[in-house]
Amino acid sequence: DTEVTQTPKHLVMGMTNKKSLKCEQHMGHRAMYWYKQKAKKPPELMFVYSYEKLSINESVPSRFSPECPNSSLLNLHLHALQPEDSALYLCASSQVVDSLNTEAFFGQGTRLTVV
Partner 1 sequence: KQEVTQIPAALSVPEGENLVLNCSFTDSAIYNLQWFRQDPGKGLTSLLLIQSSQREQTSGRLNASLDKSSGRSTLYIAASQPGDSATYLCAKGNAGNMLTFGGGTRLMVKP
Residue 84: phi, psi to the nearest 5?
Answer: -70, -10
Contacting positions for partner 1 (CB under 8 A):
2, 4, 6, 31, 33, 35, 41-45, 48, 55-56, 88, 90, 92, 94, 96-109, 111
CB of 53 to partner 1, least distance (A): 13
CB of 80 to partner 1, least distance (A): 26
DSSP state for residue 39 in the 8-state scheme? T
Strand partners, 19: 78
Alpha-carbon distance 56 to 50, whole Å?
9
Of 37 and 79, the one with the shorter C-beta distance to partner 1 is 37
CB of 43 to partner 1, least distance (A): 5
Which of these, 44, 41, 47, 43, lies nearest to 23 by C-alpha position? Answer: 47
DSSP state for residue 83 in the 8-state scheme? G
Of 20 and 50, the one with the shorter C-beta distance to partner 1 is 50
Residue 22 burial (C-beta neighbours within 10 Å; 0-12, 13-18, 19+): middle
CB of 5 to partner 1, least distance (A): 10
Of 84 and 98, the one with the shorter C-beta distance to partner 1 is 98
